[in-house]
Structure 1
Amino acid sequence: QQQIGMGNKDVRGDEGNSASPSPITDGKFVWVLMGTGDVACLTVDGKPVWNFNVQDRFGKLDIAFGLSSTPVLHDGRLFLQLIHGDGSAATQEAVVVGLNAQTGETIWQTPRVTGAEKENEHSYSSPVLYDFDGLTLLITHGADYTIAYSPADGREVWRLGGLNPHDDPKRDYHPTLRFVSSPSVAKGIVVCPTAKGGPVFAVRPDASGDLTASDAILWVRDKHTPDVPSPVIDDELVYLCRENGILLVLDRNTGDEVYMERTHVDRHRASPLMADGHLYLTARDGKVTVVRCGRKFEIVAENEIGEATSASPIIANGTLYLRTFDALWAIRNP
């Protein structure tokens, strides 16, 4: 057990705290980022390797509900999206950085300028890695844009606007459309959610430049984005679990609705987990609904763990891990 940083802050009552970002491991080392800005590397047996506070290196964090973005580990580098700001479009504080995972040294640092303002400068989503057929992109999400970077040097490859446009006569600029749900990727597609019931975009990752209103956009769903849980993609479908437990399933190629059905009626903060042909939807009250993947809605199980949770479950080595407010659960077949 090791303490990383000091000064924990609970946010929005019981919605989160300074340990909201998830840890990462390669089996030898563990990397953690805290809402306080403390980032650290430890061995798997808990010995400190390096640590620093991102505010000392990249500027003071200004984000209403605390930093909750989970870093990305790839090819010996640790990538952070620090999307925050004072609410003014004239002062853009956000940066994306690549660190040497073994030493913590900064390899590159790229300003992330979007012109977002008010609460939209703040992002609670996490970056994701697209890595298929020789194309590797670090995809960041927040401040009105999804932006892809080269992990090698931090060069911007493409950006998608229109998620919260300033100049669309059909849509007013939303002053509090902060992104929490993260993008999801599969071969040939990046699905970009927004917030508060807004649109969902799907784009081709092999494009470049400004993708807004371009033919790189595969499809747009104009409403029903998940606000907190992130999308999940399989070979044919895109699964969107809204925070009220409604599961919306779209055709991966066209964006057409396959079905929209209600599961357990409670807040869903955790992202769906896909494993062995099933979706695991974890509600805030600890009820896990298991839905069979496919074009037909079918609930195959409902399980109660009896403890509140907002963390996304994972599977590793045949074991399902659930982190509740009180415990870490490990579930496997006997």
Structure 2
Amino acid sequence: MFRIFSLFIGFISTLSLGQAEEHAWPIFRGPGGSGQALGQAVPTAFGPEKNVVWKTALPSGPSSPIIWGSRLFISGHVGTSVKMLCLNRLTGEVLWEGAREIPKVPKFFHIAGSVAAATPATDGKRVVFYFDDYGLITTDLNGNKLWEHRFVTSTGNQFSYGASPIIEGKKLLLNRDGALDSCLVCFDLKTGRILWKAKRPGVINSYCSPYVMEVNGAKQVLQGGSGELVAYDFNTGSEVWKATGLPGFVCVSPLAVGDTIYYGGWSTAHVAGRSRIASFFPENSGLTSESLESAEGFFKQFDKNKDNKISFAEFPSGRMKDVFPMTDQDGDKSINLEELDFWYTIKPWAGRNAFYAIKTGGKGDITRSHVKWKVPRGIPYVCSPIVQDNKLYLIKKGGFVTCVDTTTGKPIYSQERLGVGGEYYATPITVGDRIFIAAERGTVFVIKPSDKLEIIARNEIGEKLEATPAIVHDTLYLRGDKNLWAFRKK
């Protein structure tokens, strides 16, 4: 359909399957988890009819693609069958597919919940897939099983497991926050043997992926969750330092650039009353003052047939509708006044919405000694930060971009609008002098790193976007809710 072979006959012969890491995007957020595609020249304008190399239909799931050489790996699921897929990244052809069966697909609280959310990881010899309802599966590049690790239970995450396994050298790191044995666990990548476990008692589910950085020649593993960011010794799993006063319920993963770590997040769990209700809905939702103040006022506005219940169809669009199953405690497919009142009366959780810049090199509790500055507004809910040219970029739900001077912590601009609301799940990716930002509603923005928000392009893909893009060999790989797309300048 897209004349694959005529477009690529000139360079397919030069790129063999399984080639070296020159063309590699091995883990979530790419090499080093940095979110940077160095030396790439992907098109600024692209879409279903422009600069398409190929598209391939995929099973359901929001996991992001990873790449080694000419092989692309991704996961998904069809019902209770969780899928591991390998594609030829040059043509989109499925080279192999593996599957495992899980007992059932949980009834997640959030509409975006999935049993195949974790992004795979590879070192060029092995590929690691993680499904919270099954466990770890490690294969070679041809899909042959090398080892598996089954856990006694899943993490029990009612919003679905959202972190990803991370490979660093000969080790594999996995966040197991919220499990019965809540911990950060380190495996021998070759054998699957557990090397160490850093126990995290009392920690609730976290969507933060482990992040490895080097400080004074020694590696540390950062793991966030339950109001803290903790650094563990890479070799032993012993705690080195921690920073407190952070979100209790967190989706963002940390990033280190130079001697500074950037981490934090925002959650409705840490606001209350009118502010909490307002945060659940877009600005143009039309909620009255009465609806913001009380459940009774909300019913007055939205219980159209006056049956003392609000059905899914009656419910206004927004984040509260996305967690409709969570509010519908009796499971009758509608929400009554008592169920809705929960959101108006519950107190904020422990922790707070904050975003820190933390100086590396500390020991113990470094909250007072090493936090260089904090960002109070424009904080992301899900997507992780990126840094480009001494500027920190944060993308807030609703399509608001904040740019912060990394030296001073002062905003260069704050909460500027992209023009598309809704959720922003995918982490932005920097490509040279451009930043790619994907909105869940199906738009990919390209902005220029500068002292003001400059939108270079707005690309409509035509399907929902939750996964973080991968970029190698001047090609952008983008997963939608139906297809995996490859875009390259023609």
- Structure 2 residue runs of 5 or longer lacking an equivalent are 1-96, 269-352
Asked if 1 retains the 8 angstrom alpha-carbon contact of 2:252 and 2:381, the reply is: yes
The CA deviation at 1:133 is 5.6
Q: SS of the residue aligned with 1:193? A: strand
Q: Which of the pair has more CA radius of gyration? A: 2
- Structure 1 pair 98/269, CA: closer, same or farther in 2 (3 Å)? same
Look up the equivalent residue of 1:134 and give its one-letter code. G
| 1:152 pairs with 2:235 | yes
The CA deviation at 1:131 is 3.1
Match of 1:188 among 247, 259, 284: 259
Residue equivalent to 1:331: 487
Residue equivalent to 2:464: 308
Q: Quote the Cα distance in structure 2 between the aligned partners of 1:245 and 1:13.
A: 20
Structure with the larger RCO, 1 or 2 (CA within 8 Å, 6+ apart)? 2
Match of 2:377 among 223, 228, 250: 223
Q: Quote the Cα distance in structure 1 between the aligned partners of 2:245 and 2:136.
A: 33
The CA deviation at 1:5 is 4.5
Residue equivalent to 2:443: 287
Stretch of structure 1 that moved more, 311-320 or 278-287: 311-320
Q: Quote the Cα distance in structure 2 between the aligned partners of 1:228 and 1:330.
A: 24
Q: SS of the residue aligned with 1:218? A: strand
Match of 1:209 among 358, 364, 380: 364
Asked if 2 retains the 8 angstrom alpha-carbon contact of 1:245 and 1:264, the reply is: yes
Look up the equivalent residue of 2:381 and give its one-letter code. D
Q: Quote the Cα distance in structure 1 between the aligned partners of 2:107 and 2:443.
A: 23
Percent identical across equivalent pairs? Answer: 27
Q: Quote the Cα distance in structure 1 between the aligned partners of 2:250 and 2:200.
A: 15
Cα deviations across residues 77-103 of structure 1 (Å, max 9, x unaligned)?
A: 101111115xxxxxx842111101111
| 1:63 pairs with 2:157 | yes
The CA deviation at 1:296 is 2.6
Residue equivalent to 1:298: 454
Q: Quote the Cα distance in structure 2 between the aligned partners of 1:13 and 1:27.
A: 34
Residue equivalent to 1:170: none
- Structure 1 pair 75/226, CA: closer, same or farther in 2 (3 Å)? same
Residue equivalent to 1:255: 409
| 1:25 pairs with 2:122 | yes
- Structure 1 pair 253/10, CA: closer, same or farther in 2 (3 Å)? farther
Q: Quote the Cα distance in structure 1 between the aligned partners of 2:384 and 2:358.
A: 16
The CA deviation at 1:105 is 0.6
Q: Quote the Cα distance in structure 2 between the aligned partners of 1:148 and 1:110.
A: 10
Look up the equivalent residue of 2:396 and give its one-letter code. R
- Structure 1 pair 143/130, CA: closer, same or farther in 2 (3 Å)? same
Asked if 2 retains the 8 angstrom alpha-carbon contact of 1:10 and 1:18, the reply is: no
- Structure 1 pair 219/82, CA: closer, same or farther in 2 (3 Å)? same
Q: Quote the Cα distance in structure 1 between the aligned partners of 2:438 and 2:355.
A: 22
Q: SS of the residue aligned with 1:154? A: coil
The CA deviation at 1:138 is 0.7
Asked if 2 retains the 8 angstrom alpha-carbon contact of 1:201 and 1:217, the reply is: yes
Look up the equivalent residue of 1:186 and give its one-letter code. V
- Structure 1 pair 294/134, CA: closer, same or farther in 2 (3 Å)? farther
Cα RMSD, aligned residues only: 1.9
Cα deviations across residues 270-312 of structure 1 (Å, max 9, x unaligned)?
A: 1111111211110112110000112232111111111112111
Look up the equivalent residue of 1:317 and give its one-letter code. H
Asked if 2 retains the 8 angstrom alpha-carbon contact of 1:36 and 1:67, the reply is: no
- Structure 1 pair 31/5, CA: closer, same or farther in 2 (3 Å)? farther
Asked if 1 retains the 8 angstrom alpha-carbon contact of 2:434 and 2:449, the reply is: yes
How many equivalent pairs are there? 307
Look up the equivalent residue of 1:311 and give its one-letter code. A
5 Å matches for 1:161-180? 161-164=244-247, 177-180=248-251
Q: Quote the Cα distance in structure 1 between the aligned partners of 2:155 and 2:113.
A: 17
Asked if 1 retains the 8 angstrom alpha-carbon contact of 2:109 and 2:158, the reply is: no
- Structure 1 pair 179/43, CA: closer, same or farther in 2 (3 Å)? same
Match of 1:44 among 110, 132, 141: 141
Asked if 1 retains the 8 angstrom alpha-carbon contact of 2:378 and 2:395, the reply is: no
The CA deviation at 1:41 is 0.6
Asked if 1 retains the 8 angstrom alpha-carbon contact of 2:403 and 2:411, the reply is: yes
Residue equivalent to 1:169: none
Asked if 2 retains the 8 angstrom alpha-carbon contact of 1:5 and 1:36, the reply is: no
Look up the equivalent residue of 1:81 and give its one-letter code. N
- Structure 1 pair 190/5, CA: closer, same or farther in 2 (3 Å)? farther
- Structure 1 pair 98/264, CA: closer, same or farther in 2 (3 Å)? same
Q: SS of the residue aligned with 1:3? A: strand
Asked if 2 retains the 8 angstrom alpha-carbon contact of 1:4 and 1:34, the reply is: no
Residue equivalent to 1:244: 398
Q: What is the TM-score of this pair, normalised by structure 2? A: 0.60
The CA deviation at 1:10 is 6.1
Asked if 2 retains the 8 angstrom alpha-carbon contact of 1:31 and 1:41, the reply is: yes
Cα deviations across residues 138-192 of structure 1 (Å, max 9, x unaligned)?
A: 100111110011111111111111115xxxxxxxxxxxx4101111221111111
Match of 1:72 among 153, 160, 166: 166
- Structure 1 pair 37/139, CA: closer, same or farther in 2 (3 Å)? farther
Asked if 2 retains the 8 angstrom alpha-carbon contact of 1:80 and 1:97, the reply is: yes
- Structure 1 pair 211/284, CA: closer, same or farther in 2 (3 Å)? same
Q: What stretches of structure 1 move > 4 A for 4+ residues in a row?
A: none
The answer to which structure has the higher helix fraction is 2
Q: Quote the Cα distance in structure 2 between the aligned partners of 1:9 and 1:68.
A: 14
Q: Quote the Cα distance in structure 2 between the aligned partners of 1:244 and 1:23.
A: 28
Asked if 1 retains the 8 angstrom alpha-carbon contact of 2:132 and 2:154, the reply is: no
Q: Quote the Cα distance in structure 2 between the aligned partners of 1:131 and 1:303.
A: 37
- Structure 1 pair 319/11, CA: closer, same or farther in 2 (3 Å)? farther
